[in-house]
């Protein structure tokens, strides 16, 4: 889920940017500093969107840049337990599929793809249902539910997001559409 938060910090405005609009330079500097930053309680900072307040600048001897206290709005992505998300299959492995959900990846273990027994086809790079013949491959769009979230560590590489597609209305988007059409015919 995406959240909008207010943060207070100090931003450094380099001397070569003094002629440019202060707020534009401040947003640019804050995005350079914070985009991709990960906080366990807030999530992943995606974008500094707006300067809400900017104070007068102070110049520190020997630096030449001005330092301004700022309050700014930032957009964070933090996966929430039981949230339903849309994503794209980025990689298939013998143990499951990695799904890109916003700026992070989650894992659908083979036991959570469908109710069917799943085989891994290494040549195709696909997960195949034994009875249903359903396939899941890189590039497929899916709808899944977050069933486990572990935001330990200081980076998204250490974050673990577990997903399931075994519930009604979840799975590869084509599977969901087929199920809807089948129900309409009844």
For 2-77, the fitting CATH number among 3.30.450.20, 3.40.50.300, 3.60.15.30, 3.30.1490.120 is 3.30.1490.120
Q: 105: closest CA among 162, 41, 173?
A: 162
DSSP string, the chain: -EEEEEEEEEEEE-GGGTTS-HHHHHHHHHHHHHTT-EETTTEEEEEEEEEEEE---EE-TTT--EEEEEEEEEEEE---TT-EEEEEEEEEETTEEEEEETTEEEEEEGGGT-SS-EEEETTTTEEEETTT--EEETT-EEEEEEEEEE--SSSGGG-EEEEE--STT-EEHHHHHHHHHHHHH-
Residue 52: predicted pLDDT: 96
The arrangement of secondary structure in 84-185, i.e. its CATH architecture, is: Beta Barrel (2.40)
Q: Whole-number mean pLDDT of the chain?
A: 92
Residue 68: predicted pLDDT: 97
- Reported as a pLDDT band with limits 50, 70 and 90, residue 102 is confident
- Reported as a pLDDT band with limits 50, 70 and 90, residue 71 is very high
Condensed to tens digits (0 to 9), the pLDDT of residues 4-59 reads 999 999 999 999 999 999 999 999 999 999 998 888 888 899 999 999 999 999 99
Condensed to tens digits (0 to 9), the pLDDT of residues 142-178 reads 999 999 998 876 667 778 999 999 998 999 999 999 8
Please state the domain extents for the chain: 2-77, 84-185
Residues 6+ apart with CB under 8 A from 165: 108, 112, 113, 114, 142, 143, 144, 145, 171, 172
Residue 181: predicted pLDDT: 85
Residue 158: predicted pLDDT: 76
Given a contact cutoff of 8 angstroms between Cβ atoms, the answer to whether 6 and 73 are in contact is yes
Residue 67: predicted pLDDT: 96
Residues 6+ apart with CB under 8 A from 43: 3, 76, 77, 78, 79, 151
Given a contact cutoff of 8 angstroms between Cβ atoms, the answer to whether 31 and 9 are in contact is no
Q: What is the largest CA-CA distance in the chain?
A: 78
Query: What's the average model confidence in pLDDT over 123-136?
Result: 91
Residue 155: predicted pLDDT: 67
């Amino acid at each position: 889920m995406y959240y909008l938060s207010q943060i207070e910090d100090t931003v450094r405005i380099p001397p070569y940017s003094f002629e440019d609009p202060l707020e534009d330079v401040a947003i640019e500097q804050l995005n350079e500093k914070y985009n991709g930053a990960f906080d366990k309680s807030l999530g992943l900072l995606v974008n500094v969107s707006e300067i809400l307040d900017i104070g007068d600048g102070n110049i520190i001897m020997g630096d030449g840049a001005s330092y301004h206290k700022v309050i700014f709005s930032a957009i964070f992505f933090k996966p929430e337990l039981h949230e339903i998300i849309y994503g794209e299959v980025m990689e298939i492995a013998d143990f499951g599929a990695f799904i890109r959900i916003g700026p992070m990846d989650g894992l659908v273990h083979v036991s959570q793809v469908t109710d069917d027994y799943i085989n891994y086809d290494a040549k195709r790079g696909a997960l195949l249902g034994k009875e249903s013949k359903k396939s899941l491959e890189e590039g497929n769009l899916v709808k899944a539910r977050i069933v486990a979230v572990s935001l330990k560590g200081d980076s998204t590489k250490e974050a673990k997001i577990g997903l399931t597609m075994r519930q009604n209305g979840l799975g590869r988007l084509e599977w969901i559409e087929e199920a809807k059409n089948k129900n309409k015919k009844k």
